[in-house]
Each structure stands twice: as structure tokens, then as C-alpha cells.
């Protein structure tokens, strides 16, 4: 099989976009890097977006007006709504925003654990647990390809863990994820935040919307502090989407909305995606699977599946102990 990988950012090189052909259809698995080749751009038949993080959607946002009108874009309902919300609330800077919102409003919404027949191949999405609405995809055609996007496993959490059945058969398993060679980084980062917060009566947090929710829920459950936890008003659109999509961003009496600018006078923990940048710039909380979780993950697949590693894998591969793997590089890969 021929897979082309694209670097998202040359300063921090990571491959989060994959171009391949299945049953004579050209498919993009995530679309983080803009495509400079106009012929290739016009040749794309199907785009799958695993989640709404910028390194997986920036190329799509940059190029969407240059795609063919019949190029199909698929993802979950939550991811589609978050992409459109990020654009309409100015969290992604790009020209022609309104035209791009109109184009991306045509994204097709698929459900988890549901088999879709696309005539040329079949598609099933599974929850990846990375962020709200994130998904993995099984493509079934002349070959069976399972692509993870970023993936997460957080013990005892239905929201932050992948969910797939046992005995999945695939010819190729494309693993895309950061920090896979580190263990327990999620817990360590959150514990660090908890210790910092315990030092101050008032604490301001600036982070991506989904991280604000994760931090708030963690602190509400794990902290013995009596401090109230507040979402600032700029997060309201994000919280509304989560609630409408069946998530519960509050779930504890400690977590509230700050609708009265109480952060100026009252003590507490205040979270925002646009404010408080002078205090901190986005906490480095991993929302990814760790290397010690992979044994369990691989057990869902047939033993003959060929493992293809993307994203940050190719930077540190000496310690990977997998039976049959190929490290995807920038450019053409023959696997």
C-alpha cells in the first residue's frame, strides 16, 4: 500500500495527515497540513477528520474552498460542531471565514459503532477518547485499514478512553498519537496543577476549551479544596455543545459559570480559553494513550495486522518493542 504523509509544522515536525488510495478512491485521514499540489487537492474523494485539534484540521480549513464540490468530508456530529464553533468564535484565524463555514457545514455526520456503506467501501467509527467527539475509523475495501487519530486511555473514564470491540480484523493499523513513549504523564500534569492551585486563594487558567473542562472535572473530583471552580463566559458556546451532545461538563456542585465577572473580586479557580494568558499559556496535559496502555489496545486486533506509526513516533523509536511495525515518514511510504 502507498501512503503519503504530510508534516504539519516544520518547526515541530509531526505527521498528522495521511493520503492513500482504497478501491480507487483517494482518501485523506485527517488533514493537518495544507496541500500545495493542486492536482492532488482536486483528486481527494473522501476526508476523515478524527477530532477538532488544529494539527488535524488546519490543512482542511486552509484548503476547503479549493476542494471539489463532491469531495465528502466525514466526522462525528460533535467534531463538526466544534470545528464550526472554533471558526465562528474566532479561535482559528483564517481568511474567508464565512465562506469556509458554509463549505464545512456540509461535513457529513456519522455515529459511533455504526456500519456505513459508501458503495466503494464500508466505514465504521469508534470512540477514541482523545477529546469530545473524537473518533477512530475502520475502512473496509480491498484492504481493511484501521486509523486511530489521537487516542487516549484514562482509567475508569468513559469519556476519556477509547472504546472498540474485540477481534477486529485489519490489514493495516495506522497509529497516530503523541507521547506514546511516556507513561502516567496525564496524572503527573494534573497533580502538578492541583499542587499549584492549593498555594493560591485565586487561580487563573488559560487553556484550550476541552482542557478547561478536563481540568475543572479533575479538580472537582480530586481536590479537597473548598474553592469554587468557574468557567468564564467565552467557554459557554463550547459547554452548550457538550451538553447538547450528551456530555456533562459540570457534574459537580463545585463547578459553575462566572456570568458576573466575579473573578475580579472573589477567590476561586477561573478557566478560560482566551483570558488569563498573562498568567499561563495552555497546560501541557497529555490527552493521549501511553506506551504501557498499548498491550491492551493491540489485543483487540488480529496478530497479523501490520502496524504503521505516525505523528511523533519517528523521533524516538529505539525503545518500541512491537512485532511488526513501519514508521511513517514525510512523503511517500510504500508499506
Q: Where are the domains of the chain?
A: 2-180+288-334, 185-272
What string of pLDDT tens digits covers the 335 residues of the chain?
999 999 887 566 788 899 999 999 999 999 999 999 999 999 999 999 999 999 999 999 999 999 999 999 999 999 999 999 999 998 898 999 999 999 999 999 999 999 999 999 999 999 998 889 999 999 999 999 999 999 888 776 777 789 999 999 999 999 886 655 455 556 667 777 888 888 888 999 998 898 899 889 888 887 766 789 999 999 999 999 999 999 889 977 889 999 888 999 999 999 999 999 888 656 666 677 776 677 788 889 999 999 998 876 555 555 556 667 888 888 999 99
CATH 3.60.15.10 for the 2-180+288-334 domain, yes or no: yes
Query: Smallest Cα–Cα separation from 65: which of 88, 93, 94, 90?
Result: 94
pTM of the model: 0.91
Amino acid at each position: 500500500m502507498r501512503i503519503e504523509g504530510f508534516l504539519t509544522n516544520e518547526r515541530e515536525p509531526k505527521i498528522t495527515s495521511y493520503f492513500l488510495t482504497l478501491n480507487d478512491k483517494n482518501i485523506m485521514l485527517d488533514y493537518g497540513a495544507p496541500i500545495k499540489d493542486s492536482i492532488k487537492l482536486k483528486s481527494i474523494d473522501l476526508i476523515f477528520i478524527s477530532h477538532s485539534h488544529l494539527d488535524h484540521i488546519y490543512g482542511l480549513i486552509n484548503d476547503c474552498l479549493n476542494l471539489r464540490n463532491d469531495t465528502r468530508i466525514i466526522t462525528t456530529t460533535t467534531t463538526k460542531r466544534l470545528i464550526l464553533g472554533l471558526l465562528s468564535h474566532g479561535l482559528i484565524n483564517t481568511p474567508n471565514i464565512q465562506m469556509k463555514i458554509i463549505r464545512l457545514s456540509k461535513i457529513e455526520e456519522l455515529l459511533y459503532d455504526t456500519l456505513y456503506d459508501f458503495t466503494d467501501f464500508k466505514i465504521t467509527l469508534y470512540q477514541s477518547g482523545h477529546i469530545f467527539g473524537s473518533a477512530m475509523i475502520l475502512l473496509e475495501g480491498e484492504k481493511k485499514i484501521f486509523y486511530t487519530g489521537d487516542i487516549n486511555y484514562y482509567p475508569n473514564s468513559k469519556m476519556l478512553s477509547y472504546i472498540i470491540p474485540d477481534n477486529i480484523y485489519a490489514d493495516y493499523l495506522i497509529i497516530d498519537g503523541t507521547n506514546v513513549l511516556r507513561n502516567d504523564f496525564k496524572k503527573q500534569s494534573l497533580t502538578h496543577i492541583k499542587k499549584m492551585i492549593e498555594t493560591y486563594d485565586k487561580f487563573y487558567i488559560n487553556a484550550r476549551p476541552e482542557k478547561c473542562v478536563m481540568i475543572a472535572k479533575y479538580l472537582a473530583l480530586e481536590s479537597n479544596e473548598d474553592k469554587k471552580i468557574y468557567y468564564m463566559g467565552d467557554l459557554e458556546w463550547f459547554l452548550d455543545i457538550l451538553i447538547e451532545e450528551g456530555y456533562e461538563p459540570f457534574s459537580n456542585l463545585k463547578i459553575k459559570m462566572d456570568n458576573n465577572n466575579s473573578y475580579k473580586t472573589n477567590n476561586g479557580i477561573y478557566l478560560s480559553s482566551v483570558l488569563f494568558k498573562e498568567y499561563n499559556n495552555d497546560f501541557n496535559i497529555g490527552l493521549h494513550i501511553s506506551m504501557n496502555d498499548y498491550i491492551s489496545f493491540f489485543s483487540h486486533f488480529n496478530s497479523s495486522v501490520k502496524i504503521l506509526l505516525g505523528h511523533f513516533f519517528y523521533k524516538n523509536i529505539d525503545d518500541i518493542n512491537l512485532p511488526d511495525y513501519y514508521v511513517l515518514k514525510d512523503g511517500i511510504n510504500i508499506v
